[in-house]
Every structure is written in C-alpha cells, then in structure tokens.
Chain A
Amino acid sequence: MKKHLNHPIITAALLGNPNVGKSTIFNILTGAKQYVGNYPGVTVDKTIGIRCYKNYDIHFVDLPGIYSLSSCSEDAKITSRFLLYDNVDIIINVMDASNLERNFYLFTQIIELNKNIIIILNMLDILKSQHKTININKMSALLGTYVFPVIATNRIKNKDNINIILDYILDIYKKNSRDKKYVMPVQVDYGEDIIGEIGKVSQLLIQSNISNKISKNWLMINLLENNPSAIKLINLSNNKIEILKQIERSRNHIIEHFNTKIEVEIANRRYGFARAIVKMIVNKKKIKTIDYNEIIDNYVLNRYLCIPIFLCIMYIIFKFTFFFSTPVVNLFVVFFKFVSFKISTAIASSILKSFIIDGIIGGLGGVLSFFPILLFMFFAIAFFEDLGYMARASFIMDKLLSRFGLTGKSFLPLMIATNGCAGPGIIATRILESKRERILTMLIVPFMICGAKFPVCMFVIRVIFAHKYQSIVMFLLYIFSILIALTVSKILSSMISQEHSSHFIMELPPYHLPKFRGLLLKMWERSWIYIRKAWTIVIFTSIFVWSMSTLTYHNKNVLDIPKKILNPLFTPIGLDGNKAISLLTGIIAKEIVISTLNLTNCKDNIYLHDNTNREWDPLQGITFLIFFLTYIPCITSILIFCKEVGKKKYKWLIGILFGNTILAWSLSFIVFNIGTVLSRYIYIGK
C-alpha cells in the first residue's frame, strides 16, 4: 500500500450495526478486498485501508459491527476502545435504510463522542422493495449531519458517489463545511431528572484531572449507566471516591423516581428519539406485500424439517464439488505427469532429475493438483453463505450445541474454519460473550476439516475408495470431525467451571440472491492462501525432506533415523515410518503431508498420487485419516490460539499438544484393532 510521508493523515472510522455493509463500503472506498459476509463474526478486528486523495492520506478503519458502545463481547470492546482512545477525525456511520430505528440507537450514542459524523445510508434497494421512501434532505437537517444515500452492491453508480464523500471528508477536515447548518449535531433529550443528575456528576468531573481527549458528555452518561470502561477511566482520577458516591446516589434517585433502572430509562429515551425521527422522515405506501423471507423461514427453520434440510445442503455442497472437480483434478494429474516425463527425458544427471521430479514436482504437484477441489467447494459454500443461510444454520444448531456446553453462536467460528483456515476460525470466536465458551470453541475449532486438511483427505480417499463412494466418504468424514469436536467439548465443559448460563441472541439477515461476481471473488480470495502457501512453505519443506532422503550417513539414509524412533510408536496403529514422518511434517502446515508422502513413498521416478495403490491397504488409510484429523493442529493456528487465549496460555498449549496426540493415538489404535478383527470377515475397498 502506498504511503506518503508528507501528506497529512485523516483517520475515518467506519461504524455501524452488524450486517449493514460496512466492509462492502470499506472495499469501495479504499479499493481493498476485505472479506464480506452477512453473518456476525466476519469482521472481528479493525483493518486499516489507505486512500490517497488530493494530497491527503485518508486512513479508513473498518470496525466490527456493534449495537451499542457498551456491549461486552470481545469484538465490540475493540470498537469502543478504538473510538475512545485513538485519534479519530471523522466517524462514518453506516446505516441500513430498511431498519432505521436500531441504527439510530447507535447514532444517539455516537453523538455523545463529540466527533464529526457522516452518515452513509445503505440498502436503499431493499427499502424500495418495501414501498418506503426516505426524505434525505429532511433527515440531514434533523440530525445535523450530512447523509449520503448509497447502494453498496451497485458498483457502477458508486464511482461518482465516492468522490463526493471523499470531498466532503476533506472539507470537514479543513473545518470549512459547505453549509453551516450541518456542523452542529442534535442531542437526545433525556428528561429533566436525568439531566439534573448529569449536571451533578459533571461538576465533579470538571474538578478532576481526566484528560480532555475523552468526551465529557459520553463519560457522564456512561458513568450513570455503570459502563465498566467508563468506570475504569474514573479510577485514574484524583477524586474518584466522590464521583463514585455521587453516581450511586443518582442511580438510586432515578430508581425511586421512575421505578426502573437508569439504563432502561436512558435506552427508552434513545429509542423514543429514534422512533420520532423515523416517523418524520419515512413515508410508507400502504401496499400489502408478501414477505418471502417468512415463507422460506417457515420451511427452513421448521421443527422437523430443519435438520434434514441442513444435511441436504451439506450433501449438495459435496456432490457439487466432486461432480465438477474430478475431471479437472485428473487433468492436473496428467499435466504434472507429462511435465515430469518430459524432464526425465531431457535431463541427464540423475541427482538433478531426482531433485526436480521428486523434490519439486512431486511435492508441489501433489498439493496443487487438489487445488480445483478447493475452488469448487469454496464456491458452493459461498453461495449458501451469501444466500443468508449461515445465521439460520447457527440457529438450527443451537439446541444441539447447547447440550455440549456451547451455543449456536459457536457454530459460526466452526463454519469459518471449515471453509477456510483454522486461524480465522479461532479469531472469530471473539463474537462469543462468555470466556468459557470462547476457550471451548477455540479448542475444538482445529478439529474441523479446514481447507488444508481437505486435500489430504481427498488424497487418501482417492487411493482407497472407488469413485462413486468418494463423496459419501468425504461427507462421513466431515460428520466424524464434527462428532469428535462435540465430544471433546462435552468432556472439557464438565472440566471447566460454569460461570453463568450462556445466551444466544442473533439477528437473522434477510435472504439475498447471491451475485456471481461476489461469489467468484470470495472463492478466489479463500483459495489464494493455499497457492501462496504452496509457493513458500510447501516447496521449502519438500526440498528439505528430499535432501534428507537423498543424504546418507554411515551408509544409511538420514531419514531412517527418525523412522526408527517413530516406528514403535506407530506400528500399534498400523502406520509405517513413511507415514509417521509425513504426519510429523504436517504440523508445519497440513498440506505438506501430501508432498512428503509422495516424496518418501517414491520408488519409481515418475510417480504421482494415483498409483500409490500398493502402499495403502484400506484399513491403514482409515486409521491414517482418523489420526490425521485429530492430532496436533498446524503451527499457525497454535500461535493464533496462544495469542487469543491470553492468560494461562502455557497450560492450554500443553493441553492441546499432549491431549490431541493422546486422543488421536488412542482413537486410531481402537479403530485399527477392531478393524483387523473385522477384516477377516469382510473386505472393504476397491
């Protein structure tokens, strides 16, 4: 990203409720490719995009969506911390035009921060379909801020709009707004009693030594609301005891007066304000429309139909991937074979030949030939995601997951791990409120079949099973991984003490018909990680393993030494030294398993994964898969895990390292021994 040292920097924060299209607008404004989705947990950290405009550097900051500044989940805390302590010049409040009341509730809180505000009104197309219109001039006059109507998904019209918005941001920065009336934003009327109490607190605050950076208005109201982050600020001041006493007194006063808590009364006032403004600006034509969302939801979320439909959708995703990707994969395999054949005839020296064919093509080709499968799978998942099914799926899974000590919300991190990588899945656990659930979900996220594990499973399945069973086996493997994750969470939840009962409240987004371009973008973004990994980590390790396998020490292969050590550990579960070594290298990144298997197993020079038949007997393959799915997660996810856990990370780290290996070993031991007994009577495989 370009950065100019001389240019003055403007910081603009994008803020709004979840699922109003902040990230989409962020992408339009900065030209970045931030991941976009219509369920909570997609944006859980602040991301900065820089845009150069007329010799100014505008830093746009995309923040996680919140309903109010006093929320308690981790991603909401990130947002409120950023707004309070960092230098934000302009707040861009993104609003969903089809649901204004709740958006105005957040707006009433932003006003109190005493910062420049712009409103971007998104989703006007949905508003039109509801036969409503908004008087935008009236709205900007009432709120005292400038309002930009926008349809974020419509790309062609946006180009002119962006320049207008950017111009306006510069104008605000230079402190010469076009119209004087847009400078002063409105204030919410809290009523005489609350304003009286605020006055009492403010007198004390003026005497104290709190920095001027933080808006006094926000501080006073949040102190009365008992907001923990506000009270933390007060603890630094010199007259904190007096202030705390005064707050206690005023809270009691309000309870006596209104017979409710002050939080409820303040929220009531804020919503009253929001309702009044909505009534003034929104014109509704009285035409009865059929709400398709409700009709679809009646079937999708039906008591009896919900789980069959869920399983059906999962199965459709698999069928789609397998049906379209197998010919492409075969093409890739043939291509790599052809290349290695050409090279083997062209190059004379045997070491160089072996290096290129075994080390590079064997390693990289094995990984890359499975790339099309990922493309098709991510495409299929992105389709259902854009449709709006993810939030519903978490709603369906809520009852099931609550039996295992989780809530429906923890389904979303699991899903993010399934259609991408375990790392983002672990980060996405920030949407969970209670600490206990977060740790539980973080521990079970690595069990899911992520994009890196998927090719390895495919590699083994293609060897063992006939073509027509492959998709079913893959489907069963997914269910197996989910079952393992759930049992682990059940065991762990009995070990971790229960703080308080978990709660699950989530907004269901309306259904959208996905756009083809968006789907392709999503697909490409997610799978691009794997190509990048293949060029860096995979190629490096495969060259390393190749050099180890060619080196000799005292007339012995160097790789024989770790094989000898690992053999007694892995013979009880039916795996030989080669597979043990490949599993060991798989800790660096899971795709490497394929490349190492190709390397260590190779006896012919031209050798790729579809003639590995004699190396694998079906039972061995199954135990290998079970071990592979449950053992230690890859290094990146372990590092992210340590970062996210915070306190006691070494305890959890040891737990994850030993616990997973013991679990994997014992499971595959059981399966292998039962399998050997059974295999006398039945034969599975090709």
Chain B
Amino acid sequence: MIWFLSITIGVLVTAGAYLAMQRRLIQMVLGFSLLSHATNLMIVASGWVGDGFSPILRSYKAPDPATYVDPLPQAMVLTAIVISFAVTAFLLVIALMAYRSFETDDIDEMRRLKG
C-alpha cells in the first residue's frame, strides 16, 4: 500500500508540475490544484499506519494511542483543503481578470503586450 500511495502522489506531482509549467492560465490553475492535492495526500499519508483505526475514540477510558492513525496531520490537512480551495478560487478570478484586460490567456503573450 505504501508503494501505491507513493506512486499516486508522484503521479499527481508530475501532472501538476507539468500543467503549472504551461503557457495557458487555465492549465496553470489546474496544475496548482493537482499540486495541492498531492501535498495534502503527502501529509495525511505520513500520519497513516496500516492497521490503525480512524482517530475517533472507541473507548473513553484509557484509549491506546498506538492503535489509531495520527490525528494531527489530518487536522492540518483539513485546514489545508479549505485554504487551497480559497487559493484556487482566487487564482481563477485573477486568471479571469487577466484575460479580460489582455484578451488572451497566454502568459507569454501577456508579457509581450505588457512590454
């Protein structure tokens, strides 16, 4: 399972990185979206133990922490998911505005127009 997870993360990074390096604004936003998925997965996976329970207490008295997966990365990623949504939305709107002012979504073309 570790290998499956790692390779999935690797593929997400590859696809995201490739898209982020392209000339179209849309592709860049898509790329960053994929990259943030990859990052979130990395953090969660780092707290994962194969046979652990989800971090919801099964008994109130003296729980054994070693039997659960780590809750801290999950809490961090929960925040990160929401923030990356905000960032994606922001990027989209900026892309939209850039397109409106330059009438192109090609960033090389924009540089040329800006001079």
A binds B: no
Query: B-contacting residues of A (Cβ < 8 Å)?
Result: none
Query: A-contacting residues of B (Cβ < 8 Å)?
Result: none
